[in-house]
Amino acid sequence: MSTEITGTEGQLPSGKIVIIASRYNESICDSLVQGSLKTLREAGYGDDSLSVIRVPGAWELPMVCANALDSVEVIATVVLGCVIKGETTHDEHINRSVSDAIMELGLTTRKPIGFGLLTCNTLDQALQRSGGTVGNKGEEAADAALELLRLGVKLSA
């Protein structure tokens, strides 16, 4: 019989979790941050273990995430931002570059990164994903980081 290992439940490690969030599309990103903080607090992480760092926009997320992950005490990050399609293809270049850079950071540092970059076609789509009818992707990004942290504990045992 095979064994299945998941991170949906189990022990969480102690350490610092850093949320890196864009200031661009501020009200949407504020809602994502609040969702992430709520999720992480409900999991048992107190304010002494949580930090929020604000960056100008989505483009800056990978660099600051890399800086945060360089710290030994940081066990995970959650990156949050919102890019809404405009009249040009600017959004596609930002979204792909940021996504690729964040993935690379996760692979090279082997530390969990909750990915909460909204890549929406309209403002309404962004609003629905930051606490509207589709939920709060900040909560989901924090949940993903927590699940990976639990998996890490199980896989290192």
Residue 8 lies in a domain: no
Does residue 28 form part of some domain?
A: yes
Q: Does a structural domain hold residue 11? A: no
Within a domain: residue 9? no
- Residue 49 domain-assigned? yes
Residues marked as catalytic: 90
Query: Could you tell me the residue range of the domain that residue 145 belongs to?
Result: 16-151
Domain count, the chain: 1
| CATH number, domain containing residue 51 | 3.40.50.960
Q: What is the pLDDT of residues 19-78, one digit of tens each?
A: 999 999 999 999 999 999 999 999 999 999 999 999 999 999 999 999 999 999 999 999
Does 83 fall in a domain? yes
Residue 1 domain-assigned (yes or no): no
Rounded to 10°, the helix 90-109/61-69 angle is 10
Q: Report the predicted TM-score, pTM, of the whole model to 2 decimal places.
A: 0.95
pLDDT, tens only, 5-16: 999 999 999 999
For 56, counting Cβ atoms within 10 Å of its Cβ (0-12 exposed, 13-18 middle, 19+ buried), the class is exposed
DSSP 8-state secondary structure symbol assigned to residue 65: H
